[in-house]
């Protein structure tokens, strides 16, 4: 409940309301609204709506007098208020993009297991690729904002946020952290606008969690070029990207090196992985390399061992935790709306104690996830993030996300298994978040090693 105002205007007399007291009463009403709504943000929000949307909001506002249910809001502790006004504008722009461009087609493309390529120029035009990188046309924004945007994307469609994360984080990040100055100048500006698309190839059919010491894909120096052989599995965006960053073990010294391998290289074959149950919009590839020749100029000049690969993963892992927040938040908000609307035994199911208990459990986990990720990103912005910090958030958020989407599905009853009710995609997509960029077990081992001083990796 709102706190009572300290200086509430009192009626001067029992006479009909004077112009002045009417003015005071209007100001008082405005000040009450301003306490829960930022008027500048409200105006900016309204100015971006089309007439149909404004009509819908007006209808909703009018029905407010008729004891409308409270607003659906998954940011219970107002984490977004920690953003600067500029960051809030980016958040709002991405939210609008996701609502307008992605939401209406997400189920259809999820069912078809296809990627909506028509969205690539549109997201590219927003210039958000490599958001936190300094120079090369990138915006040099905070990782806090980067996390919030990953959350906003996943809140509507976790596949789209994965597509974005592969390009902006894993592929651009490999070049930003491990490339020479010349390579950065060549690739990053076009990648920022999604005019050039990259992917990240680390995992292999037989080597997942054990990638640090076990890569079987090899590279061998041959004059002024390298010969690559081996397979990579699960490589997101690789069926349509322009190139893939391939991590391979040097047969000479056993160290891991990174290469920018164009998809049209001779001997480089990509096959789409079919029949996925999760993130169906993301196009994952099985890559087979047979004597692929790569110029020395395409070797990442500052990638000298697996430590450098791990640095890329460290930079992007917080983003996966934020994606889990988005996926969970989307599911929570949909479930809350359903609980308000769906009636059984003559009243909304949101009025039943057991449903309220589920909703408050969902909200408490969601709020813990949001605040944890916010602090994690603050640490990253201060250059104080360690592997175990990112791993702890990845474990907690992806595990909690699975619980939240499961509650959301349960609140929907039978309707929860129908895609059209907006909860099924979150339920399925949470599964992949749980496993990629380090499974729960592997990230727990990273935390365990840091807090006990004992490595339990075998």
Question: What is the contact surface with ligand FAD in residues (CB under 6 A)?
Answer: 166, 200-203, 208-209, 234-236, 279, 282, 284, 432, 435-437, 439, 441-442, 457-458
Q: How far is the CB of 269 from ligand FAD (least distance, A)?
A: 17
Q: Which of 94, 78, 85 is nearest to 36 (CA)?
A: 78
CA pair distance 342, 358, nearest whole angstrom = 15
Which class for 7: exposed (0-12), middle (13-18), buried (19 or more C-beta within 10 A)?
exposed
* Minimum CB–partner distance for residue 209 and ligand FAD (Å): 3
Q: Choose between 74 and 330: whose C-beta lies nearer to ligand FAD.
A: 330
Q: Among residues 216 and 297, whose Cβ is nearest to ligand FAD?
A: 216
Q: Give the HSE-up count for residue 140: Cα atoms under 13 Å, Cβ half-sphere.
A: 4
Nearer CB in complex with ligand FAD: 320/373: 320
Smallest gap from residue 151 Cβ to ligand FAD (A): 18
348's enclosing H/E stretch is strand 347-348
* Shortest Cβ 234–ligand FAD spacing (Å): 3
Smallest gap from Cβ 416 to ligand FAD, in A, equals: 22
Q: In the complex, which residue's CB is closest to ligand FAD? A: 208
Burial code of 70-83, b = ≥16 C-beta within 10 A, e = fewer?
Answer: eeeebbeeebbeeb
DSSP state of 279: -
User: What gap in Å lies between CA 247 and CA 232, rounded to an integer?
Assistant: 9
**Minimum distance, C-beta of residue 445 to ligand FAD, in the bound complex (Å):** 6
| Nearer of residues 172 and 374 to ligand FAD, judged by Cβ | 172
By the 8 A CB rule, do 284 and 234 touch? yes
Three-state DSSP at 227 gives strand
User: Nearest approach, Cβ of 107 to ligand FAD (angstroms)?
Assistant: 18
Closer to ligand FAD by CB, 194 or 436: give it. Answer: 436
Taking the complex as a whole, the smallest distance from the CB of residue 127 to ligand FAD amounts, in Å, to: 23
Indicate the residue among 200 and 243 with the shorter CB distance to ligand FAD. 200
* CA–CA–CA angle 456, 402, 75 (5° rounding): 115
Least spacing, CB of residue 293 vs ligand FAD, in Å:
22
Residue number, 319 or 350, with CB nearest to ligand FAD: 319
**What is the Cα–Cα distance from 111 to 281, expressed in whole angstroms?**
8
Distance of CA 340 to the CA centre of its chain: 27
Q: Indicate the residue among 5 and 214 with the shorter CB distance to ligand FAD.
A: 214
Strand bridging mode 198-201 / 284-295: unpaired
Nearer to ligand FAD, 260 or 411 (CB): 260
Q: For residue 299, give the DSSP letter.
A: B
Q: Least Å distance between CB 441 and ligand FAD?
A: 3
β-pair type (218-222, 347-348): unpaired
Yes or no: say if 131 and 145 are a contact pair by the CB < 8 Å rule: yes
* 145 Cβ neighbours under 8 A, 6+ residues apart: 83, 87, 90, 91, 131, 132
Question: Nearest Cα to 211, choosing from 304, 309, 353, 98?
Answer: 309
Is the CB of residue 98 less than 8 Å from the CB of residue 157?
A: yes
Q: Which helix (H) or strand (E) holds 432?
A: helix 424-435
| Cβ nearer to ligand FAD, comparing 71 with 458 | 458
Asked if 245 and 256 count as a contact pair (C-beta separation under 8 A), the reply is no
């Amino acid at each position: 409940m709102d706190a009572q105002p300290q200086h509430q205007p009192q009626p001067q007399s029992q006479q009909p309301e004077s112009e002045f007291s009417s003015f005071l009463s209007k100001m008082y009403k405005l000040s009450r609204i301003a306490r829960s709504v930022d008027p500048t943000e409200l105006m900016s929000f309204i100015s971006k709506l089309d007439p149909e949307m404004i009509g819908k909001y007006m209808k909703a506002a009018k029905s407010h007098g008729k004891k409308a249910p409270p607003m659906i809001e998954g940011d219970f502790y107002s984490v977004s208020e920690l953003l600067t006004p500029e960051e809030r504008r980016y958040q709002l722009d991405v939210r609008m993009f996701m609502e307008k461009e992605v939401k209406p087609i997400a189920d259809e493309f999820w069912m078809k297991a296809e990627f909506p390529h028509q969205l690539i120029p549109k997201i590219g035009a927003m210039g958000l690729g490599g958001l936190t990188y300094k120079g090369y046309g990138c915006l040099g924004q905070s990782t806090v904002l980067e996390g919030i945007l990953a959350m906003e994307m996943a809140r509507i469609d976790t596949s789209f946020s994965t597509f974005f994360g592969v390009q902006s984080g894993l592929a651009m990040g490999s070049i930003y952290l491990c490339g020479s100055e010349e390579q950065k100048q060549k690739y990053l500006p076009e990648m920022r606008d999604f005019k050039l698309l990259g992917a990240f190839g680390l995992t292999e059919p037989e080597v997942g969690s054990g990638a640090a010491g076990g890569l079987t894909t090899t590279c061998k120096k041959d004059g002024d070029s390298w010969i690559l052989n081996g397979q990579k599995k699960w490589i997101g965006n690789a069926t349509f990207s322009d190139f893939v960053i391939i991590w391979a073990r040097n047969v000479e010294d056993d160290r891991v090196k990174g290469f920018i391998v164009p998809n049209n290289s001779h001997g480089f074959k990509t096959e789409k992985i079919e029949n996925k149950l999760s993130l169906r919009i993301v196009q994952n590839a099985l890559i087979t390399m047979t004597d692929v020749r790569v110029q020395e100029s395409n070797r990442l000049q500052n990638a000298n061992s697996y430590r450098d690969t791990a640095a890329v993963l460290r930079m992007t892992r917080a983003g996966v935790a934020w994606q889990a927040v988005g996926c969970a938040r989307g599911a929570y908000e949909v479930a809350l709306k359903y609980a308000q609307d769906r009636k059984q035994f003559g009243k909304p199911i949101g009025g039943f104690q057991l449903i309220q208990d589920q909703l408050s459990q969902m909200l408490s986990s969601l709020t813990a996830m949001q605040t944890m990720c916010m602090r994690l990103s603050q640490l990253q912005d201060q250059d104080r993030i360690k592997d175990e910090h990112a791993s702890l958030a990845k474990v907690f958020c992806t595990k909690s996300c699975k619980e939240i989407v499961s509650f959301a599905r349960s609140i929907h009853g039978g309707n929860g298994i129908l895609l059209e009710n907006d909860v099924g995609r979150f339920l399925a997509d949470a599964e992949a978040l749980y496993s990629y960029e380090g499974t729960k077990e592997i990230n727990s081992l990273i935390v365990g090693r840091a807090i006990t001083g004992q490595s339990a990796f075998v």
